[in-house]
Amino acid sequence: MLTRNCLLLFLWILVNEVSVSSLRPPSLTLGQSRTRGEHARSLVGSMKNGAAGFQRVKRGWVWNQFFVLEEYMGSDPQYVGKLHTDLDKGDNAVKYTLSGDGAGSIFTIDQTTGDIHALRSLDREEKPYYTLRAQAVDINTNRPLEPESEFVIKVQDINDNEPKFLEGPYMASVPEMSPVGTYVTQVTATDADDPTYGNSARVVYSILHGQPYFSVDPKTGVIKTALPNMDREVKEQYQVLIQAKDMGGQLGGLAGTTTVNITLSDVNDNPPRFSKSFFHLRVPESSAVGSAVGRIKAHDLDIGKNAEVEYTIVPGDGGAMFDITTNEHNQEGIIILKRPLDYETKKAYTFKVDASNAYLDPRFQSFGAFKDTATVKINVLDVDEPPVFNKHSYVMDVYEDTPAGTIIGAVTAQDLDASSSPVRYSIDWKSDLDSYFDIDPVEGTISTNELLDRESIAQHNISIVATKLSNPVLTSRVAVTVHVLDINEFPPELASHYETFVCENAKIGQVIQTFSANDQDLPTAGQQFSFKSPKEELKNKNFTIRDFGNNTAGIVTKRSGFRRRLQEIYFLPVVIEDNGYPPKSSTGTLTIRVCGCESDGSLLTCSAEAIFLPVGLSTGALIAILLCIIILLVIVVLYVGLRGQKKKETLMSSKEDIRDNVIHYDDEGGGEEDTHAFDMGTLRNPKVVKENLYRRDVKPEMNRGPRPPVSQDSADIRDFINQRLKEHDMDNSAPPYDSLATYAYEGNGSVAESLSSIDSLAVDHEEDYDYLSDWGPRFKTLAGIFGEQSESQSDTTTTENTH
């Protein structure tokens, strides 16, 4: 190590002679100190011979920037430089001191001579310079001879660090078939040496391994392709060794290396190719539609999506029977059957298949079409097939209670193979556990084995098996659904009890009632009813039945001029017949009442039930309506009674009034002139006489003056009234509504005349209710009730007048 450093130091001195001369200890003469940048001298004032004056003192402290070589390996301390002051006369009277970075531990100074030495080896990459301070003092008194000065010791760099690739090894890729000079990647090496001094940190790049495929720029480290048309299918991976050397690549420089792994990425430069031009496949005729019948494959040297293959069948005679898809995992072409195969119809199919890339690179389309074509031949193999029914399923109908042995239908199956073997039929016993049906094994006719009941089982689902006689193992099945039809067991009936009316003034041909029918048999959706009159009623001169054809019919009058007093009720029979098997019929009776009607045909009078009820109401509804009528009559009677009792009462019988300030009295005095016959205190409301109670609705806030005593003098009464009037006018606590206050009394000579009810007439005006008779027949009952009351009141009045 020491030999190497010495050699490097020797070479460095030869190359940098000028720089090395600055490392020598500086000559500390005054002129040299000025040329090397001494500090500005200070002005010092002194007093000589008692006279004041200033003298420019030359500063004798000489210092400079010192240099020390890094990685010094000598046995003696490395000499750095010398400090000196002009005040040092060489008599050992000056002492030099050193402080700052590394003083005492790294750097030392001779106190007498000022020589500075480095005690150990230094590394510039660890610390490039040190800042220290020097002081010259008197050795006897320790008094500073000059101000303290600062200087720097720089560590001189040597080439002791090789270039390093901090990010290696590198991974890069470049498309195959790229032209020369295509950018691949860039590598970077760093050197810890001083880049500002010499060539220690100037790096040059070169390729040690990887030529002639790639090249590297010596200065930037950019790697590019150096060979055209590199094919990934020939070689995909490349390993390139890059070297970085300092000292500008000169002899003696240090070097570092890194590896760059370069991969050629795929481009679509290869079309798919079939391994052979003809594919021969064999397919059984029993293959199901949609199943895969064969596989072919075209190989592509590319990878990824560049190797994805699309297969298409070239239109032709055989291509319509098949389709082809691509397996995404292995890029195989899967041939799928589109239609059923039949060996007896066609025994072979031939067609062509094209294989092409899904993604094309326009740079290579000039090479030709990126597809390949192969021929596929498919031979159909004969298979012994089971019999085939002429239908996928069968539906049969049979009426319930049909005699056993009745044929209800037949199934047919045949052998489509060339041998055309006979077929035998049977019923799967699991689908007909009770053996309701039987089948002819040769003809395939199905018959009932016992009586069927729709109410027990309305639908039977059986399975018929067809067996090939030449090969009993080959069988086929078909589902047969047997619907048990309902026999018409119930005759139709009227939908409800119809009771209608006919007006006395009805016209000929008038439809007075529409009716319908119900049937308990099923299904209700397909039922059809017909309505007609019985044969014996065809000569009926009053009414007839008209069938509307939509399961409804109407009662039609055949004459006019019905009279209730001659016949009140008519009974009309009607024959109802359904369309069941066998057809059923019944006879219903319609009730018709004769009622009085108005000119527009609305019901006016009839029996009690016909008057108040629509036709067809139940007995409960009739009772409810009658109860309502009775309650209304009771209310009317009570109202009339209370009205008659009210007439006997006086007009003013109540002792209370809604207003507190109204005075009621039943006595009549002699007027203002009669002051002795009547006590004036009775004119006052006894509720107001109480002390401090003026109103009952609002509590007064103002104090009222004392009331004058009751006096028989009319002047006092006038004053009292005036005072009360004034109080009421000034009363702000009065309610917001109008009120009546009485301030005077009543007697003979009063201007208001008598207000008493003693002489009042209590004769009420009797209302005449005869006008109710003019309102029509509906108000006759009400007119009779009020008419009787009016007559009784008139009789009473007459009797009283008589007496």
- Asked which of 225, 242, 265 is the last residue of a domain, the reply is 265
255 lies in the same domain as 287: no
Whether residue 175 lies inside any domain: the answer is yes
457 lies in the same domain as 501: no
Kindly tell me if the per-residue pLDDT of 613 is higher than 70.
no
Whether residue 725 lies inside any domain: the answer is no
366 lies in the same domain as 328: yes
572 lies in the same domain as 510: yes
* Cβ atoms within 10 Å of 167's Cβ, excluding its own: 9
586 lies in the same domain as 537: yes
| pLDDT of the residue at 619 | 65
Nearest to 545 by CA among 580, 516, 521: 516
Which one of 320-324, 416-420, 722-726 scores highest in mean pLDDT?
A: 320-324
DSSP-derived secondary structure letter, 626 = H
Per-residue pLDDT band for 681 (boundaries 50, 70, 90) equals low
Show the tokens assigned to 148.
Answer: 């303290």
Which one of 16-20, 556-560, 712-716 scores highest in mean pLDDT?
A: 556-560
- Asked which of 485, 506, 540 is the last residue of a domain, the reply is 485
503 lies in the same domain as 544: yes
pTM to 2 decimal places? 0.43
Instruction: State mean pLDDT over 600-606.
Output: 78
Whether residue 244 lies inside any domain: the answer is yes
* Cβ atoms within 10 Å of 545's Cβ, excluding its own: 21
Whether residue 31 lies inside any domain: the answer is no
| pLDDT of the residue at 582 | 78
How do beta strands 255-265 and 170-175 pair?
Answer: parallel
How far is the CA of 328 from the CAs of 24, 266, 308, 336, 513, in angstroms?
Answer: 80, 19, 8, 16, 79
292 lies in the same domain as 333: yes
Count Cα atoms within 13 angstroms, Cβ side, for 556.
14
124 lies in the same domain as 74: yes
Whether residue 671 lies inside any domain: the answer is no
How do beta strands 94-100 and 51-55 pair?
Answer: unpaired
338 lies in the same domain as 253: no
**Mind listing the pLDDT tens digit for each residue in 140-199?**
888 888 888 888 988 877 777 889 998 879 999 999 999 999 999 999 998 888 777 777
Query: In which residue are the tokens 């073997």 written?
Result: 421
| pLDDT of the residue at 486 | 80
Whether residue 69 lies inside any domain: the answer is yes
**Mind listing the pLDDT tens digit for each residue in 62-105?**
445 788 887 788 778 888 888 888 888 878 888 888 888 888 88
Whether residue 741 lies inside any domain: the answer is no
Q: What is the mean pLDDT of the chain?
A: 77
Whether residue 682 lies inside any domain: the answer is no
509 lies in the same domain as 446: no
342 lies in the same domain as 414: no
Distance CA 176, CA 192 (A): 38
| pLDDT of the residue at 73 | 80
Count Cα atoms within 13 angstroms, Cβ side, for 135.
14
SS3 category, 680: helix
| pLDDT of the residue at 739 | 63
219 lies in the same domain as 298: no
Number of domains in the chain: 5
- Asked which of 265, 298, 330 is the last residue of a domain, the reply is 265
**Mind listing the pLDDT tens digit for each residue in 641-668?**
888 776 655 444 444 444 455 555 555 5
CATH number at residue 201: 2.60.40.60
| pLDDT of the residue at 648 | 57
C-beta of residue 588 within 8 angstroms of C-beta of residue 533: no
Domain extent, residue 176, equals 164-265
**Mind listing the pLDDT tens digit for each residue in 235-294?**
999 999 999 998 887 787 889 999 999 999 999 888 899 999 999 999 998 899 999 999
